[in-house]
């Protein structure tokens, strides 16, 4: 848990975890113990087609979860967590049915690792009720695979009207290099299922590989603050070219981007000296803010 400059609490979590209940290398108990030992405040166990039980272990909140998948007319993996019951979905269900099932059971629906899945933005924008999507997924990267980062793909979908809260997750399978690279910090008043889910849906989430950042829109500027100091902050919008997208230095603690009327969205990434990146959420500069 991190306390920010305003005194808010940000709980550390992993929202996508496999165990021996599907194709993960360790048992649910071992997974929970491992993340607890690493200082995680909450973990969602999200096995393929297996709804795990919620619980608590030594101060770590365990969220129920599941991952549904289908590879017909594209590859879709939908992770759900915080479910109040097993929706009883049968294999063969399409992506919209997966999302609807998770939400009908009181869970949050996440379109997982869109870059790894080679997701098509025109298909993404047709899905209804996608609460979150993963901008970073650990196991989709080195040395297990090669597309951990989905920011560019999600940017394209966002220019087409896609809207989702950004998360990061380990998607832990091997319990080797796939641990501790895809982290979320969630700003919540207390460590309960209800408070964590509400905060995530509200976008009070910092997805990161390590560093913690704060961001805000202040007087027409998108402002990113890096308490621990970063090497660079880069801003992303719907425009191909912006003249001031990069702030860099040995220890950047604040970077500002002036939001132009042509910027329909703005987000940022801050990278530290170890090459680890923290991501902001999207700020939508339009009348229909979400
Ligand atoms: Zn998956
Ligand atoms: Zn997974």
- Secondary structure in 3-state letters for 219-257: CCEEEEEEEEEEEEEEEEECCCCCCCCEEEEEEEEEEEE
Range of the domain at 256: 214-284
Specify whether 71 is located in the same domain as 106. Answer: yes
Cβ atoms < 10 Å from Cβ of 203: 16
Task: Return the bridge partners of 136, or none.
Answer: 149, 168
Specify whether 52 is located in the same domain as 182. Answer: yes
**Residue numbers of the chain with a pLDDT score lower than 50:** 289-290
**Does any domain span residue 138?**
yes
Owner of token pair 């597309």: 147
Between the CA of 260 and the centroid of ligand 2 the distance, in Å, is 38
**Does any domain span residue 289?**
no
What is residue 98's DSSP assignment? Answer: H
Beta-sheet pairing, 9-14 with 183-187? antiparallel
Domain end marker among 208, 225, 254: 208
Ion ligand 2 residues within 5 Å by Cβ: 67, 171
Specify whether 11 is located in the same domain as 41. Answer: yes
- Nearest ligand, measured from the Cα of 170: 2
| pLDDT score for 129 | 98
137 in the Ramachandran plot: left (φ > 0), alpha (ψ -120 to 50) or beta? Answer: beta
Specify whether 78 is located in the same domain as 31. Answer: yes
| pLDDT score for 162 | 98
Q: 104-134, pLDDT tens digit by residue?
A: 999 999 999 999 999 999 999 999 999 999 9
Specify whether 221 is located in the same domain as 187. Answer: no
Maximal CA-CA distance, the chain: 52
| pLDDT score for 49 | 98
Between the CA of 208 and the centroid of ligand 1 the distance, in Å, is 19
Specify whether 238 is located in the same domain as 131. Answer: no
Q: Which is nearest to 223 in space by CA: 183, 275, 272, 283?
A: 283
**Backbone phi, psi, residue 78, to 5°:** -115, 120
Specify whether 126 is located in the same domain as 35. Answer: yes
Domain end marker among 208, 223, 253: 208
Specify whether 126 is located in the same domain as 270. Answer: no
Q: Which is nearest to 1 in space by CA: 145, 189, 130, 148?
A: 189
**Does any domain span residue 290?**
no
Between the CA of 154 and the centroid of ligand 1 the distance, in Å, is 17
Domain end marker among 208, 243, 260: 208
Specify whether 202 is located in the same domain as 239. Answer: no
How far apart are the C-alpha atoms of 29 and 31, rounded to whole Å? 5
Looking at the structure of the chain, the number of domains it has is 2
Output the domain CATH number for residue 266. 2.60.40
Q: What is the DSSP string of 121-155?
A: HHHHTT-S---EEEEEEGGGSTTT-S--B-HHHHH
How far apart are the C-alpha atoms of 173 and 162, rounded to whole Å? 29
Output the domain CATH number for residue 36. 3.20.20.140
Specify whether 145 is located in the same domain as 190. Answer: yes
Owner of token pair 């290099």: 177
Beta-sheet pairing, 132-137 with 165-169? parallel
**Backbone phi, psi, residue 153, to 5°:** -65, -45
Between the CA of 269 and the centroid of ligand 2 the distance, in Å, is 24
Between the CA of 189 and the centroid of ligand 2 the distance, in Å, is 28
């Amino acid at each position: 848990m991190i306390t920010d400059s305003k005194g808010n609490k940000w709980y550390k979590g992993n929202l996508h975890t496999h165990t021996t209940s599907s194709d993960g290398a360790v048992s649910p108990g071992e997974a929970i113990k491992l993340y607890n030992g690493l200082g995680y405040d909450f973990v969602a166990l999200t096995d393929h087609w297996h709804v795990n039980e919620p619980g608590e272990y030594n101060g770590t909140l365990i969220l129920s979860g599941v991952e549904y998948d289908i590879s017909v007319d594209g590859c879709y993996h939908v992770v759900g967590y915080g479910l109040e019951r097993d929706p009883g979905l049968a294999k063969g269900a399409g992506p919209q049915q997966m999302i609807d099932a998770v939400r009908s059971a009181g869970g949050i629906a996440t379109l997982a690792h869109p870059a790894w899945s080679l997701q098509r933005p025109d298909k993404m924008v047709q899905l209804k009720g996608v609460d979150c999507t993963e901008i970073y997924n650990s196991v989709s990267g080195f040395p297990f695979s090669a597309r951990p980062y989905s920011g560019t793909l999600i940017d394209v979908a966002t220019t087409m009207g896609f809207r989702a809260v950004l998360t990061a997750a380990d998607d832990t399978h091997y319990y080797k290099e796939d641990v501790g690279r895809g982290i979320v910090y969630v700003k919540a008043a207390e460590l309960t299922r209800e408070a964590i889910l509400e905060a995530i849906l509200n976008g009070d989430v910092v997805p990161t590989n390590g560093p913690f950042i704060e961001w805000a829109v202040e007087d027409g500027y998108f402002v990113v603050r890096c308490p621990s100091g970063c090497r660079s902050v880069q801003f992303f919008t719907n425009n191909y070219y912006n003249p001031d997208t990069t702030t860099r230095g040995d220890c950047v603690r604040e970077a500002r981007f002036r939001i132009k009327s042509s910027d329909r969205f703005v987000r940022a990434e801050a990278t530290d000296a170890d090459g680890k990146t923290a991501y902001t959420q999207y700020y939508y500069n339009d009348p229909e803010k979400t």
